[in-house]
Structure 1
């Protein structure tokens, strides 16, 4: 993990002075856990969870909020401020600050979407088959979330059919029994 962190720190900035790094993959693929470990290896890099920008009504309709509230200020070298969505209250909460640090991680399904890629220094894809990832996510969330997952699976399929991420990934990340394996992604191997 420290080798990857070192590589990311050495990248040229991609969003103003910030190296914005996207961590994408299917729901349940391990993005949040991996990103937390990567943030730690980066000395506490700030993390934006796209679940904080999505809503029940707009599972993938958060692009405008991301560009306006996060990418815009970071691109100007300013801290970003956004209001995270509360999935239980079904409303946006109080504002949070995302510092304009040397490396900022953005994790979630769609982190590497077309509108975001121009601002990314690197795009990482969590390499786990979608059915395996979804099964893992459903197990994690339990039966009370089964209706949500039914809608989610349809929405995620549609999202990646219209705006795929994996073909543009610089790196593929595979979870191993102990740690992670980081491999060149399709964007690197196809050039």
Structure 2
């Protein structure tokens, strides 16, 4: 049995995860509140800032909210690259599909709509024309995915049916222009070194020059847009808290 402070009798950290109850506040390092801030000694104070919450409750919250994009509830999952947006959006889609009578909502990744590295934020007109405008009018949308290998849009069309919920995941998905039609805006954050390491592990070191320019563009956009201040929910994309990540997420203040 571990000691009360979570360490084994010999003083080592107990490797066994402790169960975190739903809605429980936990003590986390205060520097976790800032994704791009490297911790210094003076930052290592401990403050209760994080809450573990279930995706199932968030799914119910979404369905209880008003549809603002025609008959559809639009959920935007935003945040810098490598923060964990795709994972969060997928788990929320799973939770929505698991509700009684619920179907799996379409999930649009904005990376699929970008016309290469130089289209970091200017893709929005494509999303608006092909997906948002049709749904706003009560019609199904459709788009073609961009191939980052072939550097062109693929011929196959991806349908986006009219439904109760649409999830849009990607950098700038919760931008100011989208907010009037959002039922829920989410910002997923994680420390910059970890985000960079995740992206390189996923896509290879050859993308580093593009990625550094990309990260600079993200930082400028989020500063100007003040996205993290204006969304409904900020999520820790690199939580150190023991929990079932398929069923729960960690909310930050």
The answer, yes or no, to whether TM exceeds 0.5 is yes
2:129 is aligned to: 68
In the other structure, the counterpart of 1:49 is 109
Pair 1:23-2:84 in alignment: no
For the residue of structure 1 that corresponds to 2:119, the secondary structure is coil
Identify the structure with the greater helix proportion.
1
Whether the 8 Å contact between 1:69 and 1:81 is mirrored in structure 2 is: yes
From the superposition, tell whether residues 115 and 131 of structure 1 become closer, same or farther in structure 2 (CA, over 3 Å).
Answer: farther
For residues 188 and 249 of structure 2, what CA distance do their matches in structure 1 show?
10
Alignment match, 1:8:
62
8 A Cα contact 1:26 1:134, kept in partner: no
Aligned length: 185
CA separation of 1:63 and 1:47: change in aligned 2, threshold 3 A? same
Q: What is the Cα deviation at residue 143 of structure 1?
A: 1.2
In structure 1, the gaps of 5 or more residues are 186-191
Correspondence for 2:140: 79
Q: Secondary structure at the match of 2:175?
A: coil
**Structure 1 residues 19-51: Cα deviation after superposition (integer angstroms, max 9, x where no partner):** 000001110001111111111111111100000
What is the Cα-based RMSD across aligned positions, in Å? 1.8
Unpaired segments of 5 or more residues in structure 2?
A: 1-54, 98-103
- 2:84–2:189 CA contact under 8 A, matched in 1: no
When Rg is computed on C-alpha atoms for both structures, the one with the higher figure is: 2
2:235 to 170, 173, 187: 173
Would the aligned equivalents of 1:170 and 1:184 in 2 still touch at CA under 8 Å?
no
Alpha-carbon distance, 1:129 to partner = 3.2
Kindly indicate whether the alpha-carbon contact (under 8 Å) linking 1:22 and 1:124 is maintained by their aligned counterparts in 2.
yes
Further displaced range: 86-95 or 138-147: 138-147
- Tell me the TM-score normalised to structure 1 length: 0.88
Deviates more, 1:78-87 or 1:24-33: 78-87
Deviation of the 1:88 alpha carbon: 1.2
Aligned pairs (5 A) from 1:90-105 = 90-94=151-155, 95-105=157-167
Give the structure 1 partner of residue 221 of structure 2.
159
Offset from partner CA, 1:82-126 (integer Å, 9 cap, x none): 122111111112221111110110000101111111221110111
Partner SS state of residue 6, structure 1: helix
